[in-house]
Amino acid sequence: MKMSSLFVQTLREVPSDAEVVSHQLLLRGGYMRKLAGGIYTYLPLMWRVLKKIENIVREEMDKEGAQELLMPIVQPKELWEQSGRWAVYGKELMRLQDRHGKEMALGPTHEEVITALARDEIRSYRQLPVNLYQIQNKFRDEIRPRFGLLRGREFIMKDAYSFDVDEAGLDIAYEKMARAYTKIFLRCGLETRMVRSDSGAIGGSVSHEFMVLTKTDSGENDVLYCDKCSYAANSNNATSKMLPAEMTGRFEKAEIVDTPHTRTIEELAEFLKIPSTIICKALVYIADSKPAIALIRGDQNVEEIKLQNALGANEIRIATSEEILELMNKNGFSAEPGFIGPKGMKNVKIVADLSVKDLKNFVVGINQTDKHLVGANWGVDIELPELFDIRLAQVGEGCPECDGHLMITKGIEVGNIFKLGTKYSKAMNATFTAEDGKEKPFIMGCYGIGISRTAAAAVERYHDEHGIKWPIQIAPYHVVVVPVSDQDEQQMKVASDIYEKLQKAGVEVVLDDRAERAGVKFKDADLIGFPYRITAGKTLSEGLVEFKIRETGEVMKLTPDEAVEKMIEAVKAVS
């Protein structure tokens, strides 16, 4: 490809609405343009990158026996009603009507469609196991699209779905995908960490995310990882060993004491001269429009995703003061926020974090303003509610799996794998005839890779102040050949010659034949991020060209033939 005819416009200035570096560089480098919030046109350079990632994904998926298909992006409401998700998916599901008023949705994911397909097509255990995947545009009407391709509304995703006769089969399918994913990202030049995570709205039990640890501030997930072992988890799912703390209060008998103006844990601890570790904190949440109380040790914080799961709710939020007063009224109390406690509360779900279990002679709200119960004990003064892990794990706490400590970093989730089990097959009545002649629901798994997000993650991971430094495996082109001046016949001749030889050898090469000054060509080459640059310029007087590696900045002076040879080798090394 000649640069003069390549469809690319680089920008000198950073578009003002681009915040993260991948967004900025992809706009500046002429890789994409925004059409609407979270919706982008992928220009030729970007499309080449995306196709490369897609092809790596295809190869590794196929190696594990998965088969590619393509499902529709517009899906009928009926399917979503069968799975129950029409009601629970929320506003992220882009709903629309056709001319007859029939309700449809743009597919944010394809569990419904694939499950319906399996229901219709797979009759017997003899047809199992099977793993089907597609690479396709998804649409999620994100509450707040941002970060360019990292959180768009329309994006490209690979989604695979496995069907098995039993859990053991699912385990095998899951392992295969975990293996494939690790290889895929490595081949894209990205090191990933497989972290356990919440399974969210998709449902199911076990799930892992593949995170690119960016080592910068970009990335929207907090990842806690052990400094000693391989433990890593999304902060919404991480567990930890809490640091040693006092669990026993100095109040030896239960009594109600005055604690004026102690609305926060800090104020209460200060007033009673006790550590916050012997206070049982009560938080009122609204879970799917019903109130619920969460108890946790005073010095700890609730992880809302965990709480949401413990409550079996689709959506939770902290209650307002008004809602708390209303709840108090219903239970015959009138306490203000800050003095809430579990005792005497009826018609409200109460869950407790594991951190409160071992509290003795502790302090807790008693639903009377300016008063607390001190010296309380479970089973004596207050019934111990059902226990869950609803605590936010924090940096510095102990690793749950070894004696190491937890560290935190930002991560970009580029892939995820879920064990779905029978959630969809049961709901949608998708069954097969098992070996024993009985009808059984499929045991399913689903496995996603954000193709466009992976490209953005690569930019986040590999760039400098001049531009992108693509790993060669996913770079739009392998190398740019730059004659310093298009007026110089010798330079043009040598450059064209190298260009043609590389092309014949199958190297993806761009010849910068533009009538631009050298500075412009170099700046563009760095910005676009060609992994290699071969320059025909002043060194030609010695019969040499420059061979420059973008990643390291290393420059070598070689004869044109040596440069061609070296370039061919560089490409061979990764294919």
Give residues in contact with RNA (CB under 7 A): 9-17, 19, 28, 34, 36-38, 143-147, 263-265, 281-285, 301-302, 304, 317-321, 323-324, 337-340, 392, 466, 484-488, 515-520, 522-527, 535-540, 546, 548
Nearer to RNA, 173 or 363 (CB): 363
| Residue with Cβ nearer RNA (210 or 499) | 499
| Cα–Cα distance measured from residue 386 to residue 364, given in angstroms and rounded to the nearest whole number | 17
Cβ-defined contacts of 504-509 (< 8 Å, 24+): 505/564, 505/568, 506/571, 507/478, 507/479, 507/567, 507/568, 507/571, 508/476, 508/477, 508/478, 508/479, 508/571, 509/1, 509/477, 509/478, 509/479, 509/480, 509/481, 509/567
Q: How far is the CB of 528 from RNA (least distance, A)?
A: 9
Least CB distance to RNA at residue 567 (A): 17
Residue closer to RNA (CB basis): 51 or 566: 566
| Residue 522 CB, nearest approach to RNA (Å) | 3
Beta bridge partners of 136: 157
Cα gap 106→77, rounded to integer Å: 10
338 or 450: whose CB is closer to RNA? 338
CA 570 from chain centre, in angstroms, equals 32
Tell me whether residue 192 or residue 308 sits nearer to RNA (CB atom): 308
* β-pair partners for 433: 124, 439
Judge contact between 251 and 259, C-beta under 8 A.
no
CB nearer RNA, residue 194 or residue 544: 544
Residue (of 312, 287, 283) closest to 300 by Cα position:
283
Q: Which is nearer to RNA, 48 or 263 (CB)?
A: 263
Q: Give whichever of 35 and 229 is closer to RNA, judged by the CB atom.
A: 35
CB of 198 to RNA, least distance (A): 15
Run of H or E residues at 39: strand 39-42
Q: How far is the CB of 179 from RNA (least distance, A)?
A: 36
- Give min distance, CB of 48 to RNA, in A: 20
Q: What is the nearest approach in angstroms of RNA to the Cβ of residue 303?
A: 7
CA distance 132 to 244: 49
**Sequence letter at residue 446:** C
User: What's the min distance (Å) between Cβ of 390 and RNA?
Assistant: 10
Of 238, 242, 205, 201, residue with least CA distance to 86:
201
Q: Closest by alpha carbon to 147, among 39, 20, 14, 16?
A: 20
